[in-house]
Structure 1
Amino acid sequence: MRNKMAKILISVVLGMLMTITVLEAKENGYAVLTTAQLRQQLTSQLPDEQKQRISDELEAQDEILAEVARLQLEGDKQVKTEIELARRKVLVQAYWQYFFKRNPVQESDAREVYNQLRQLNGDKQYRLSQIVVSDEGAARKVLDALKDRNSFAKLAKEMSLDATTAQQGGDLGWRWKSDLVPEFRRVVDLLEKGEYTTPPVALANGYVILTLDGVRQQTFPGFEKLRSHLMKILGFQAQQMELRRIRKKSN
C-alpha cells in the first residue's frame, strides 16, 4: 500500500510540474525552480528506484519544454490561462495548509458538536413526506384536496415542485431531527402519524405541506463513527470564517 501511495504521489507531483516552466526565471513575483532544484527537492527523501523514476521524468519534461519554447507555446492565451489557474490552485492549497497547521480542528470541538447532536436527536427517527409549492394559494389547494381525502402521495406526484421527492410521492425517507431544516424541526413533534401541517410550513422559497408517516426508535451513531465527518464540517466552517476575515480586511 505504501509503494502504491508513493507512486500516486509522484505521479501527481510530476503532473503538476508539467504546468510550469522549469527555467531559472521569475514570473508574477515567484521564483521558478530549475530542474536541478526540483530534482533535489523531490528526491532527497526517496529510495534510489523512485529517485531515478523522477529524474527520468524530469529529463523527458525538459525535452518537451525545449520544444514548447521553440514553438513559443507559452505565449498562447489558453496556455497562459491554464498556467495561471494551476499557480493559483497550488498557492491557495498552500495557504490552507499554513492556516490549518496553525489553527488545527480540535477533536474536543467535534465532541462538543456531537454531544449537541446526540441531545437533539435522542434515539428517534422520523419518516416524512412533503409537498412543495410556490405560494399560499397553491398551498390552500393542496390542503383542500387533502381534506377531500385525496392521497398525499398522489398529490405530491401531481403538485409538488420538488422533482426528486415528487417522484417518490413526496417521501423524504427516515431522518434524524438534525437532518431537518429548523422549520421542520419545530413542527415534527406536534404531528401524529398520518397528520399533515396546517397551516403549511413557510420557507424562504415557498411553502411545504409536511406529513408524518412514522416514528421509530434508532440508536444514534457513536462519536467515532461520526468523528471524520464532524471534523470536516468544522474545517469547512473555519475556512468560511477565515475567508470572511480576509475579504473584510481587503475591503
Structure 2
Amino acid sequence: MKKRSYLLLACLAALSTPALAAPAATVNGVAIDQSQVDVILSTNPNMAQSPQAKTQVLNNLVAQEILAQAARAGKLEQSPQVQARLALANRQILANAAIDDYLAKHPVSDEELRSHYQSFVKDLGDKEYRARHILVKSQAEAEKIMADLKKGANFAKLAKEKSLDKGSAQNGGELGWFPPSMMVKPFADALNGAKKGALLGPVKTEFGYHIIQLEDTRKLTPPPFDAVKERLRADLQQQKIQSFVDAQRAQAKIDLAK
C-alpha cells in the first residue's frame, strides 16, 4: 500500500512539471524527463540527500511508465473510475499551482512575522500551570467526584477509574506543564488566580465536566522569535491561503446538487 501511495504522489508531482529537461530514461520510446526526477527530489529534501535517491526515484518513474503503458494497452483509461481519478489529480495539481502562485505573489513579510510573534507571545501569557483533571459526562457525576475528593479520596485513583480523557487518566489525570492558551477558555479561566493545591470545578467545557487540581505554577518565558519563526510563517501562509480561497469562493457561482 505504501509503495502504491508513493508512486501516485510521485506521478502527481511529475505531471505538474513541464517537459523541458533532457530525458533521464526512455521506456518503449516514451521519455521520462530529468525535470520529473528533479521535482520529486525537491519535494523531499531529506530523500534528496541520499546518494541513491536519484536512482530510486528514476526506477520508480520507470515502473510507473511501464504500468501506465500496460494500462493504456488494456484501455483502462476508458474506465469511469480511472477517468474520475485522473480528473481529481488534474484538479488538485491546478489548485496547488494556484496556491503556490498566490503565495509567491503575496509572501509573508518580516513585519507580518514580527506582529504575529507579538500576538503569539501575548496569547501565551506570562505563566504556565501544572495540573491534573478528571473528565466526566455529567455535572452530577462531577459533583459526586468533587465531594469524594473533599472527603479525602485519591485524585489519581479516581482519574484512572472515571476520567473520559484516557490519555491523561493512565497517569492519574496528569496534564504536565502548559500555558493557558493550550486549554479551552473555561478550563484556563478556572485556573486563573487559583492557589497551588486547589480543587476546581465542576468546570463545563465542550468536552464535558472537569474536576481540576492545580499542582503548581511557574513563570513562563516565551520562546525566542527565531525558534518559532518558521512555525509562525506557516501559520500566516495558511491564513493567506484561506483568505485567498474564501475570496475566490465568494466570486464563484456555485450550484450544489440537492
What TM-score does the superposition give when structure 1 sets the normalisation length?
Answer: 0.73
1:103-124 per-residue CA deviation (whole Å, 9 max, x = no partner) reads 2223322222222332444553
Map 1:70-149; keep pairs closer than 5 Å.
70-149=73-152
Q: Paired residue for 2:158, among 152, 155, 158?
A: 155
Displacement of 1:52 after TM fit? Answer: 4.1
Contact 1:126–1:176 (Cα < 8 Å) also in 2: yes
- Output the amino acid matched with 2:219: Q
Displacement of 1:224 after TM fit? Answer: 0.5
Displacement of 1:195 after TM fit? Answer: 0.8
Change (3 A) 1:14 1:229: closer
Give distance in 1, aligned partners of 2:146 and 2:66.
Answer: 73
- Output the amino acid matched with 1:246: Q
Give distance in 2, aligned partners of 1:111 and 1:148.
Answer: 51
Q: Where do 5+ consecutive residues of structure 1 fail to align? A: 1-10, 21-32, 44-50
Contact 1:19–1:83 (Cα < 8 Å) also in 2: no
Equivalent position SS for 2:199: coil
What TM-score does the superposition give when structure 2 sets the normalisation length?
Answer: 0.71
Q: Could you tell me which residue of structure 2 aligns to residue 16 of structure 1?
A: 12
Displacement of 1:63 after TM fit? Answer: 6.9
Q: Where do 5+ consecutive residues of structure 2 fail to align? A: 1-6, 33-61
Displacement of 1:178 after TM fit? Answer: 2.4
Q: Could you tell me which residue of structure 1 aligns to residue 206 of structure 2?
A: 204
Displacement of 1:68 after TM fit? Answer: 3.5
Give distance in 2, aligned partners of 1:229 and 1:117.
Answer: 11
Count of residue correspondences: 215
Give distance in 2, aligned partners of 1:116 and 1:183.
Answer: 21
Give distance in 2, aligned partners of 1:170 and 1:122.
Answer: 24
Change (3 A) 1:72 1:139: same
Contact 2:131–2:215 (Cα < 8 Å) also in 1: yes
- Output the amino acid matched with 2:12: M
Contact 1:157–1:170 (Cα < 8 Å) also in 2: yes
Q: Paired residue for 1:176, among 167, 174, 179?
A: 179
Q: Could you tell me which residue of structure 2 aligns to residue 58 of structure 1?
A: 31
Q: Could you tell me which residue of structure 2 aligns to residue 227 of structure 1?
A: 229
Give distance in 2, aligned partners of 1:131 and 1:14.
Answer: 46
